[in-house]
Structure 1
Amino acid sequence: MSTSVTFTVCFDAPFWVGVLEIAEAGQVRATRHVFGSEPTDAELYQFLLRHGTALLERAHANPPVPAETRRGVRPNPKRAMRLAAKEAARIAQGSRGTASQEALRRELEQRTSRSTEETRQRKQAESERKYAIARAKRKERKRGH
């Protein structure tokens, strides 16, 4: 079972983004990190030394997505442009995209649902706290102090 790890840095307007992909056993896991301004080679090296393990753990925590198999035949350049345009249109319409894009989408969905749940719990706790304070004030008023 071979495992390959790829870290790609690309410009995703308006920020530079690093995408870590882990491909193993026909499955792809991915995560991304937003850099902001364009990182230099030295900054990337330092980033990977400091945060590489955490980035790998974050990628392994994400659900795997089946990797797409690629054909060995290389199409004509004009056909390749047509296929790329068709794929871009498909992705723009909200379709599945590549395996790493699907993995990133799932990661985003998980983070969003986790954040929503945490926010809901925080609001409920705050509401209960305010209710307890109001109840204590009412009780204090009834006592006549």
Structure 2
Amino acid sequence: MSATFSVFHDGQFWVGVLELHDEDGVRAARHVFGPEPGNAELLEFCTGSGFLDLSRQAHAAPLVPEDQRPVRKLNPKRLARAARKALEDQPVGTAAQRALKESFVEHAAGAKAQRKQRREAAKERRRDMARAKAKAKHRGH
């Protein structure tokens, strides 16, 4: 038998959940802390009578088989966001599509480098023209 104690924020309170796993299923009990517990408070709870009471509650709780554990219903927006992210992360299907995608990415990188080169050349030309103009003003004509 293994046990897991988790502390999390449920939206309103900080809650500790003790799960007891054995070959037949899972038993669980929870303790509401209220405000966020500090390390000292958690240590006191785990070493004191609070954890023993929680353990008794967990042992007295009904056994839920692993395969029949209720699945929490997900928020539809979160589910849609996760599905969209999974689709974006998937590679393109066929070899031809992957080749097209790679050539597109390669072309985009080359175009970016060319734009940067042109921008730097234009900046250099403007600087040279300004220096030449300033030099011409200082010749005394």
Give the TM-score range, shorter chain.
Answer: 0.3 to 0.5
Asked which structure has the greater RCO (Cα within 8 Å, sep 6+), the reply is: 1
Larger Rg: 2
Higher share of residues assigned strand: 1
TM-score (norm 1): 0.46
